[in-house]
Amino acid sequence: MDVLARNNVTVLGPADGQPLVFAHGFGCDQSMWRHVAPAFADRYRVVTFDFVGGGGSDPAAYDPDKYATLDGYRADLLDVVRALDLRDVVLVGHSVAAMVGAMATIAEPDRFASMVMVGPSPRYVDDENYIGGFGREDIDELLTSLSSNYLGWSAAMAPAIVGNPDRPELGHELTEAFCRMDPEVARRFAEATFLSDNRDDLPRVPVPTLVLQCRDDIIAPMEVGEYVAEQLPDSTFVVLEATGHCPQLSAPVLTAEAIGTWLDGRAAA
């Protein structure tokens, strides 16, 4: 199995630089990092990739059972880290990939030096004494809206990819469109993401962690970010002057600066 092709892995920067691995969240692919990742390529070995099912990953590698839970995505992340034999890794995970990253650092602590969580949430659905921001019925509605939004894609594109192995340009064409995903894959990823509960993982994260919180993030509200920072054994909580759930797109310079400042501070310490 060629993990580098399967996960569409891209590597930038000096080969002897400290590895900086960017993991994308639900809804998009590694192109989310295109305004942030290159800013580190002068001194870090910058790695971006697509989880199987998204972006330019190999559609044939998608296994509905494997990716029904976040464990499948954690396996992807660790596969990429192992394939490049990375050590002393700084892991940057956005949204659900922050939790996937937490799981990865717990599973193989020796490979990771530190972690940056961008807009993390360990649980999206409200629970007793816990506000995630969403009810179970909200998630069901999201799943319905996914079916609706992917309907046109489903009919037009799926047969092209599935039925034309001898026409790889159709698959390539797809990678040109951002945030495209097979509707079944999107639905399963959404279920794995929004019905997950990683609260118990947080105290077990073995590396120092920067929590980047946006103002006005309805997916991962301020209280949730504060909860994450509190639960982590070694955390720094930074509020970005950015709105929405994707500061790497809405405020890429601020995001890169916040990550760079924290990393420089740790290197100097």
Partner 1 sequence: MLRVNATFLRWTGRPVEAVVGRRLVDLLTPGGRIFHETHYAPMLRMQGSVHEIAVDLRCGDGSRLSVLLNATLSRDEHGAEREVLVAVFDATERRRYERQLLRAHDEARGAEARAMTLARTLQQTLVPPVPPRVRGLTLAATYRPSGDGSQVGGDFYDVFPTGPDEQVVVLGDVSGKGVDAAVVTSLVRNTVRALAVLHHRPSSLLAELNDIVGTHETERFCTAVVLRMRREPDGAWRVVVAAGGHPPPLLLRPDEPAVEVDVHGPLVGILPDQEYGETELRLAPREVLVLYTDGVTEARRDGELFGEVRLHATLDRVGARDVPGLVAELEEEVVAFQSGVTGDDIAIVAVSPTPDPDPDADLGPDPETG
Q: Closer to partner 1 at the Cβ: 95 or 235?
A: 95
Q: Does 38 bind partner 1 (CB under 8 A)?
A: no
Active site residue 95: yes
Active site residue 245: yes
Tally the C-alpha atoms within 13 A of residue 155's C-alpha that lie toward its C-beta: 5
Helices 70-83 + 183-194 axis angle, to 10: 100
Figure out which of the listed residues 63, 68, 131, 144 binds partner 1, where binding follows CB under 8 A.
144
Q: Does 91 bind partner 1 (CB under 8 A)?
A: no
Q: Does 250 bind partner 1 (CB under 8 A)?
A: yes
Q: Closer to partner 1 at the Cβ: 5 or 155?
A: 155
Binding mask of the shown chain, residues 4 to 33, with x at each position contacting partner 1 by CB under 8 A: ---------------------xxxx--xx-
Active site residue 29: no
Burial string for 24-59 (b: 16+ CB within 10 Å, else e) reads bbbbbbbbbbeebbebbeeebbbbbbbbbbbbbbbb
Binding interface with partner 1 (CB under 8 A): 25-28, 31-32, 34, 95, 134-135, 138-149, 151-152, 178-179, 194, 217-219, 244-246, 249-250
